[in-house]
Structure 1
Amino acid sequence: MAKILFVMTGADHWTLADGTPHPTGFWAEEAVVPFQAFTAAGHEVVVATPGGVVPPVDAGSLGPEQNGGPEGAERMAAAVDSFEALRRPLKLSEVEVADYAAVYYPGGHGPMEDLAVDEDSGRLLTSALDSGRPLGVVCHAPAALLAAKRSDGTSPFAGYRLTGFTNAEEAQAGLAEKAPWLLQDRLVELGVDFRAGEPWASHVVIDRNLVTGQNPASSAAAAAELLKALG
């Protein structure tokens, strides 16, 4: 059994361009589906957040419309409740990549608020990438890549093929015009090779040890690729 680190947002809002706090957190499907896949395979999941705060779930991700109806919503809420590691996260500043076999970042708009500027997360991402360990990042969680820098100021992810929540999806979700910045734009500015799939369809990009998923629908496929990499 291996230990897998989930690095998760501690933010319960995303500050929009006009200063309005948009309620958010982590997206339930992006945490629950990989958690279930990893634990079913016999692995242990450990959660870490900035400051060790309990990661807030985005209430919107628990709705019937996001989970195939009322019964799906009930199952998702129950799955979040049963994810015990969420209630006892480690402090991100105290985590060492060497203690884990793989690292995974679920999304939601929360990472746009905190992980995008978190230096501890940036150092951890750089270490995970350099270590060759499987590193999975899904949906809005690639915002965390913005905080990863080498000593010369360059991004360790420059030149990597990857994906994340697209401008088209942000527009269709109704937040693009209100956003202070768009994830796809900022990732392209880093120098990555951004690969966009069809909006809302599962789309996973693998480059070396980096596995990225575009949106919530990509969570299961991203988890499957990480498990394959773990052998």
Structure 2
Amino acid sequence: MSKILFVVTGATYWTLNDGTRHPTGYWAEELLTPYKAFTEAGHEVVFATPGGAVPVADAGSLAPEANGGRDVTAELAEIAGLASPLKLAEVDLADYRAVFYPGGHGPMEDLAVDTTSGRLLVEALDSGKPLGVVCHGPAALLAADRADGTSAFAGRKITAFSNEEERQGGLAGKAIWLLEDRLRAVGADVRVADAWTPHVVIDGDLLTGQNPMSSGPLAAELLKRLG
């Protein structure tokens, strides 16, 4: 079967507009649900982070109420690759059939400005390999510029965590910038649905999901492309 690269934030905080650091990381459901879907279908998942940092789950995403009443801490601990991710700079896209970016507020801190991730995204987009990105994961798209300085995702149909969801989550007023706004500013064709409803946007082999509720449907769509 295929190898799928998961690019995960290595950040443990998100800097707010007053300079304070909001503890965060990746969102457990957005990593665990696709991981289980891919591996149960027989695919291999390999993790990479900036600098090979061991990724940390946002504490809020570990709460049973965020996971259908389940305690997912043990499930995450059983994923051996999470404890020893590759360094993103050492990844060779040729080794993988697809690329997936989970969310959490962490990508707003590191992947949004990570040029190594940005180059990988441009390469993945141009390769025609399935590229799945969910929730705050699309923050990484902000670092994906072409040689002329334009965004590789300008004009592409995508979705991402919406301004309304950030407001309802209580952090919009504290954010230095909002993801939906920034993606529109670089020319992406951002399409959002009602807050907290599953929503997947497909533009060729670019597949994006709006929020944690979209990670399962997004993974299902990516699996279709892997056959």
- TM-score category, normalised to shorter length: over 0.9
Matches within 5 A, 1:126-205: 126-205=122-201
Matches within 5 A, 1:1-231: 1-69=1-69, 72=70, 74=71, 76-231=72-227
Distance 1:4 1:67 in 2: 24
TM-score (norm 2): 0.99
Distance 1:64 1:38 in 2: 23
SS at match of 2:22: strand
1:195, distance to aligned residue in structure 2 (A) = 0.5
Distance 1:3 1:94 in 2: 16
1:197, distance to aligned residue in structure 2 (A) = 0.8
Distance 2:185 2:45 in 1: 33
Structure 2 residue ranges without an equivalent (≥5): none
Distance 1:208 1:96 in 2: 22
Q: For structure 1, which segment, 60-69 or 3-12, has the greater mean C-alpha deviation from structure 2 after superposition?
A: 60-69
SS at match of 2:170: coil
1:198, distance to aligned residue in structure 2 (A) = 1.1
SS at match of 2:195: coil
What is the identity, as a one-letter code, of the residue corresponding to 2:33?
A: V
Distance 1:68 1:35 in 2: 17
TM-score (norm 1): 0.97
Q: Which runs of 4+ in 1 moved over 4 A?
A: none
Corresponding residue pairs, total: 227
SS at match of 2:145: coil
1:65, distance to aligned residue in structure 2 (A) = 2.4
